[in-house]
Structure 1
Amino acid sequence: MEKNFSSLAEVQAEIQLLKVKEFQQKELIKEQLSSPSAIFHAVSSLFKSGNTNQPLGKNLLNQDMITNLARVGIPLIMNGFLFKRSGFIAKMLITFLSQKAAKNVTSNAVSGAIDKVHGLIKNFMGPKKKRAPVRDYGIPPDSESF
């Protein structure tokens, strides 16, 4: 969105245009959040899933096993170990946010992360140097070993 300006008048016109757009957006936000029900609707729309036509049970069954394990494991680990002494509201928020984050954990994402870590470790260790094979001719027949 880079624009090239050839004169000061063009720059000032662009500044005025952006100020008008900012004012229009502020008015739109004020209009959308004018009543408590509008605020509640705006906040609740953030937490709705993408497909609201399906019941919750079907939505959970369509996810892979790693996603379902993450939905249980992430809140358990965070509340049980990391935020052990936090209050009820904090644990509730942590559980809610970790449930939202667990939707992004899929088997493809986990396998991709494991592949990236494997590649980093492989690059960090460097290529293995091949040693020259040791030629073993066995024990010579005239040796003093019996």
Structure 2
Amino acid sequence: MKTKSRRYNINNLDELHKMVCSLKDEGNLKKEALISDTKVYVKQFSLGNIIKRYATPSAFLKVDEKLNISSSVMSLVLPLVMNSTIFRGSGLITKALVGLASGKVGKSLDAEHLSGIFNSVKSLFTGSKKKKPKEGYAVDYGIPPDSETY
């Protein structure tokens, strides 16, 4: 690897010391710039940043319009859950029909639908926590009612 050699016009010792100081300053500036750029680059590809960028429900569960991971999983899991819980004692034909129907329903579900269903069920149990303001409550500003400014 060949390095470029610089030609400097240095005539005395003072010019040499000035040039050495300026080259050290230039080296320190380049070193700081390289360190800061490296930190930004490493932070860009850190585990936390990758999780933050790619592990969102919309990015993780729906790669593109044709491949929808959440609907594929639901079309496989939903028939198994239905047949093992609700239709446990039913016959083979009933389990097959439930498997086909729940597989079709599972394919239509995606992450947005599941989160909407979850939020609506959750709101039924939690209810609204809004406090109603008390009517007829006078605000006290610190002025006694029998003062002259009242």
In which range does the TM-score fall when normalised by the shorter chain? 0.3 to 0.5
What TM-score do the two structures reach when normalised by structure 2? 0.38
Radius of gyration: which is bigger? 2
What TM-score do the two structures reach when normalised by structure 1? 0.39
